[in-house]
Amino acid sequence: MKKIKYKIIICLSVIFICFLISASSLSTLNAQMPVNEELNHFSTNSFNRFIWKWNTTEVVSTESTMNSRSPAQTVDSVGNIHLAWEDVTEYASSGSDKDIFYKRWESSSKTWITTEVISTESDQASLYSSLTVDTAGNVHVVWNDWSSYGGSGSDYDIFYKRWDINSLGWTITEVVSKDSTGSSNEPFLRTDKVGNIHVCWHDQTNYAEAGTDWDIFYKVFIGPPLAPKLAFIVPNPSEINTVNLNWNDVIGATSYYIYRSMSYIWSLKDISSITEVTSSSYIDTLPSEGIYYYVVVASNFVGKSTHSNCQYIEFELPHVQEFVIISSLILGTFVISLVILRNSRKKSKMK
């Protein structure tokens, strides 16, 4: 027994000594490696894995024949590139003054759309644009404008326009700097995750005792909430006429409208809501058998969101034929069980 213990101790000691020798050799090798070899090793496995390269230059303002300047750019969540700039070209009845032009590169077709004029209500110089895209896909643009539009006066003001995802068109121009009586210049625009529009600019107006020097003004435009996400309806298909609908809580929403149809809901144009609720769930009662489709719309004091994704439920009561089959199976099982039990008893008596 003692010999076995000694053998175990010797083996463990040999293993430990070999480990120390290996660790010492590795440390010496690393210490002897030149610095440039270490850098080359790191570079080969990290930095050289990706090669960055500028592509060939493209001309975006292909419809312009005069000066195109001061571009603004953003990229949306699906990879579309949005560009706006000031342009002197008399294009699409824009006149010979500076206007705000817009173009979009669509990731689906890999092509640029035809140039559009945004500042269609302006009759004076429009310049210094800024743009952004919210999570719903609406494009928001602000710019400086000298036009006396909407009571803005003859000095520079901040104008705003939106490309609406629902109507697929531009809204009417709005004046952002309504409180300004001096010159408002060089706006900067951003949206938050809720869809609110944040604008800042420098302004010479003596507003809120700011004085007549240049100051930074800020404004936020609170828009309608984002569209909710409707969860899968379970169980599906169902043999009961109650449907449990659930969706996510949308930030900024104060209520939700439920829409139901017996055909897939692509648009709410000819559909009325079945109810309005303030929570993020609803139990609906179906009037009869069939396949029903649902969408949900979030709402607040500003307006309504686009509709949610569409989910469906198939409601079908158990038919008489199915009931007869199930009953027959149950009855057959019962009869077989009785026969087996009877035969078992007979065998027991014979013994």
Q: Is pTM, for the whole model, over 0.75? A: no
The rounded mean pLDDT for the chain is: 83
- Residues 117, 72 within the same domain: yes
Q: Which domain, by its residues, includes 308? A: 242-315
| Predicted confidence (pLDDT) at residue 247 exceeds the cutoff of 80 | yes
Residue 118: count of CB within 10 angstroms of its CB? 24
CATH number, domain containing residue 260: 2.60.40.10
Q: 73 and 107 share a domain? A: yes
Residues 132 and 276 in one domain: no
Mean pLDDT to the nearest integer, 307-334: 74
The alpha carbons of the chain give a radius of gyration, in whole angstroms, of 36
Average pLDDT in the 84-100 region?
94
pLDDT digits (tens, 9 = 90+) for 126-164: 999 999 998 888 999 999 999 999 888 889 999 999 998
Give the integer Cα–Cα distance in Å for 73 and 75.
Answer: 7
Query: Is residue 5 a part of any domain in this protein?
Result: no
CB under 8 A, 24+ apart: contacts of 286-291: 286/241, 286/242, 286/243, 286/313, 286/315, 287/241, 288/315, 289/315, 289/316, 289/317, 290/262, 290/314, 290/315, 291/262, 291/315
HSE, side-chain direction, 13 A CA sphere, residue 14: 6
- H-run or E-run covering 158: strand 157-164
Instruction: Based on the fold, state whether residues 248 and 217 are members of the same structural domain.
Output: no
Q: What local confidence, expressed as pLDDT, does residue 258 receive?
A: 98
- Domain final residue, candidates 285, 300, 315: 315
Residue 136: predicted pLDDT: 80
Shared-domain flag, residues 186 and 248: no
Q: Is residue 123 part of a domain?
A: yes
Same domain, 77 and 217: yes
pLDDT interval class at 13 (50, 70, 90): low
DSSP assignment string, 282-347: EEEE-SSSEEEEEEEEEE-SS-B------EEEEE-PPPHHHHHHHHHHHHHHHHHHHHHHHHHHHH
Query: Which of 208-212, 244-248, 296-300, 327-331 is least confident?
Result: 327-331
Q: Are residues 214 and 84 in the same domain?
A: yes
Q: What is the pLDDT of residue 42?
A: 35
**Tens digit of pLDDT for each residue in 198-227?**
999 999 999 998 998 999 999 998 878 889
110 and 183 belong to one structural domain: yes
DSSP label of 182:
S
**Residue type at position 258:** I
Residue 333: inside a domain, yes or no?
no
Position 307 confidence tier, pLDDT thresholds 50, 70, 90: very high
Q: Is residue 228 part of a domain?
A: no
Q: Domain count of the chain?
A: 2
Distance between CA atoms of residues 201 and 178, nearest Å = 13
* Claim to verify: residue 249 and residue 167 sit in the same structural domain: no
Q: Is residue 47 domain-resident?
A: no
Residues 157 and 89 in one domain: yes
Q: pLDDT tier at 116 (50, 70, 90 boundaries)? A: very high
User: What CATH number does the domain containing 136 carry?
Assistant: 2.120.10.10
Identify the bridge partners of residue 189 per DSSP, sorted by sequence position: 199
Q: Is the pLDDT higher at 96 or at 293?
A: 293
Give the pLDDT confidence score for residue 214 in this predicted structure. 95
209 assigned to some structural domain: yes
Of the candidates 188, 185, 160, which has an alpha carbon nearest to the alpha carbon of residue 175? 160
Task: Choose between 11 and 259: higher pLDDT.
Answer: 259
Same domain, 143 and 80: yes
Same domain, 246 and 138: no
Q: Quick check: is 2 in a domain?
A: no
- The answer to whether position 310 is within a domain reads yes
Instruction: Using alpha carbons, list the distances in angstroms from residue 10 to 23, 244, 345.
Output: 20, 71, 73
